Amino acid sequence: MAKHYMYVLACADQTLYTGYTTDLKRREKAHQSGKGAKYTRPASRRPCYMIYAKAYANKSAAMSAEYAFKHQKRPAKEAYLTQQGIDFSQPLTQQFIFDNTP
């Protein structure tokens, strides 16, 4: 059974990008090569580093989580990620939190 993930990238321009995938490695590689989402294609946004990923039991749950996260303002996103263990006072390029409990 395929896993479904909601993930967050930290982009070079200090923005956060949220997406959905069933293959985290493939998706991160696509974003890094400029072949990912339209948002991460400009060179000014790359490199993008995956800083958070959460597994979900099904596509619907993962996409609902992605939608909810995308529609939060930046302070709420940072508060959530901080609760998960991301330290915004440190370089985001060296951090990754993976929640594999659907």
Task: Provide the pLDDT for residue 102.
Answer: 63
> How far is CA 77 from each of CA 8, 22, 33, 90, rounded to the nearest angstrom?
10, 22, 25, 16
Task: Count the Cβ atoms, other than its own, within 10 Å of residue 49.
Answer: 19
Q: What is the pLDDT along the chain (102 residues), one digit of tens a residue?
A: 569 999 999 999 999 999 999 999 999 999 988 888 888 888 889 898 999 999 999 999 999 999 999 999 999 999 999 999 999 888 888 888 888 876
Q: Would you state the structure tokens that stand for residue 81, as one six-digit string?
A: 């990620």
Domains of the chain: 4-99 (3.40.1440.10)
Q: What is the rounded distance in angstroms from the CA atom of residue 29 to the CA atom of residue 48?
A: 10
What's the whole-model pTM score? 0.90
Residues 2-28 pLDDT 10s: 699 999 999 999 999 999 999 999 999
Contact 100, 55 (CB under 8 A): yes
